[in-house]
């Protein structure tokens, strides 16, 4: 060796390149389309639980899929696409709440209870009281409860999706469940 950099990038010494090439172009669109067909409804339900508004939930999910399309070439593994979408949906819901908070000032009122046919079809009449109670939870508790019990994620998975520690998920979930129990007891 003469001290000259080799044809490979010398700054990446010790980093193994993946042998699998990620799909691009038409194949990438097909994979994103397949993800949409498989997971869009569940992600819309998640966003609806977090925002309380069906059109906003649909917008958040659509933005998440658009972001995935834009960032597809930079994904390291195609298996991480669903995790990327879940995190994008949660972040989108957080953004919606920030905007609502700024518009309304300091008070954070829960979203109005809507009784559209679509809402009833998604959650059913039996779950309406629970939905109203979930909407009244603080954001972190609501996220933890929805991820753990609605999406059936483990504590570690929920922590990764929320960007917090496992202990924070455990604490937020415990407090959220206790608050839900109190709210539902009050409605009896």
Same domain flag for 71 and 102: yes
**Are 43 and 88 in contact, with CB atoms under 8 Å apart?**
no
- DSSP letters of 141-183? HHHHHIIIIIS---HHHHHHHHTS-HHHHHHHHHHHHHHHHHH
Tokens of 30: 């097909």
pLDDT of 163-172, one tens digit each? Answer: 899 999 999 9
Confidence band (pLDDT; 50, 70, 90) for 101?
A: low
Same domain flag for 123 and 187: yes
The CATH number of whichever domain residue 138 belongs to comes to 1.10.10.10
pLDDT of 8-19, one tens digit each? Answer: 443 334 434 444
Whether 56 is covered by a domain: the verdict is yes
Same domain flag for 172 and 182: yes
């Amino acid at each position: 060796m003469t001290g000259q950099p080799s044809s490979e990038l010398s700054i990446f010494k010790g980093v193994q390149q993946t042998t699998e090439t990620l799909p691009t172009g038409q194949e990438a669109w097909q994979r994103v389309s397949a993800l949409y067909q498989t997971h869009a409804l569940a992600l819309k339900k998640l966003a609806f639980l977090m925002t309380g508004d069906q059109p906003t939930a649909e917008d958040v999910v659509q933005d998440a899929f658009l972001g995935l399309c834009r960032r597809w070439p930079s994904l390291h593994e195609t298996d991480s696409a669903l995790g990327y979408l879940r995190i994008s949906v949660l972040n989108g819901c957080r953004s919606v709440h920030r905007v609502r908070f700024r518009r309304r000032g300091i008070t954070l009122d829960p979203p109005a209870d809507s009784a559209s046919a679509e809402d009833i079809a998604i959650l059913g009449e039996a779950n309406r009281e629970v939905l109203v109670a979930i909407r009244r939870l603080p954001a972190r508790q609501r996220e933890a409860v929805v991820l753990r019990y609605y999406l059936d994620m483990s504590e570690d998975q929920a922590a990764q999706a929320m960007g917090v520690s496992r202990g924070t998920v455990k604490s937020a979930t415990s407090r959220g469940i206790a608050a839900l129990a109190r709210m539902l007891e009050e409605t009896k």
